[in-house]
Structure 1
Amino acid sequence: MLFRYLAAAAVAIAYFLPMAFPAAAQENAPQVAPSLADLRTDMRMAAAFATMVGESEIPEWIHDKAVTSPGDRVSFGGRDYLAMSACEEHLCGPHRMAVLYDEGKGVMYGVIATSDDEAGTEALTWLNIGGGPEGIDGKSLLYATLSGSVTNHPQDFRYLPETEE
């Protein structure tokens, strides 16, 4: 009988404690990394996305039917980036997108992948890729984000700048 009272008290404390101390509950809550869904509320991220896209035509699903996941931290060229991906709802296999977002500079790089399983082809549309480090390591990281490798092994995608010997 005493065990039941103690169990009920423990459940009540666990349930009501966050309500009594909301700041402590928020402090201990797991932090979710930003995702492409934040384009709707993060004006700086939305501006970086718009600049990245520029005059390129992008599929409509990106605006209204995208399924997103929290981003992963990666680095290359001495800078940290947020690697984020999205796919079209109910068509994730053939319609995917990945971006690298430099939060400090407010710059974004991306790729849109469209595949045809019957033909065995995949078309890649690169966005805002220039001649800088995003042209080599950035493309590799973007493709690794599309494939899920970055999410599965984020610690393996933190490239340190080369040092002179």
Structure 2
Amino acid sequence: MKKFPLLALAFCLATPAFAQSTQTTADLANTVKYRHAYQSMTKLPDWVAKATAVSVPAETLKLDGKSYLVGHLCKPHDCGDHQLDIVFSEDGKAVWGLLSRRYGKTLYQMPLGEPNTETLAALTASYHKNNPDDLAK
């Protein structure tokens, strides 16, 4: 019987750890406390946003009878770990990208602009063309 009060006390002390927040994730991201950190996380790096990067000449690509320009950028002084491959529509109304970031030996890639399957394949091919050593791994 003496174990019951101890067990009840332990449960009461542990209850706050199981309590869930009533705020949604979007609510938290918009609070004064988290807004700045959230916006910093979602912002593209300056070398991407301002295109202040090392780059190669763009090449023409034909997809489904349409012409596109494909290019490659990388962060100055850190090209191996920070890269962006881009496909521009010829009319200038659309652009898609593949942002590549390497942490140690792990490569993370994030498509930008919601490329379709063919465009994503072109972006990936551009990345591999500019990083031939990655194909050997």
Q: TM-score, normalised by structure 2?
A: 0.58
Paired-residue identity, %: 22
Structure 2 match to 1:145: 126
Q: Which structure has more RCO (C-alpha within 8 Å, separation ≥ 6)? A: 1
The structure with the largest alpha-carbon Rg is: 2
Give the Cα–Cα distance (whole angstroms) in 1 for the partners of residues 86 and 108 of structure 2.
16
Distance 1:78 1:105 in 2: 16
Cα distance in 1 for residues equivalent to 2:111 and 2:43: 11
The offset of 1:65, in angstroms, is 4.0
Q: Which of 69, 80, 90 does residue 56 from structure 2 map onto?
A: 69
Quote the RMSD (CA, aligned, Å).
Answer: 1.8
Kindly report which structure 2 residues correspond to 1:78-97, keeping only aligned pairs within 5 A, or say none. 78-97=65-84
One-letter code aligned to 1:100: V
Number of the residue aligned with 1:161? none
4+ aligned runs moved over 4 Å, structure 1: none
Give 1:57's aligned residue. Answer: 43
CA distance in 1, matches of 2:53, 2:90: 21
Q: What's the counterpart of residue 122 of structure 1?
A: 107
| 2:17 matched residue in structure 1 | none
**Map of 2:117 onto structure 1:** 136
For each residue in 1:103-152, what CA deviation from the matched residue of structure 2 results, as whole angstroms up to 9, or x when unmatched?
22521111110012x3x2111121111xxxx4211111101112226xxx
Shift of 1:78: 2.4
Take 1:74 and 1:110, find their aligned partners in 2: how far apart are those partners?
A: 15
Q: Give 3-state SS (helix, strand or coil) of 1:81's partner.
A: strand
Any unmatched runs of 5+ in structure 1?
1-55, 150-165
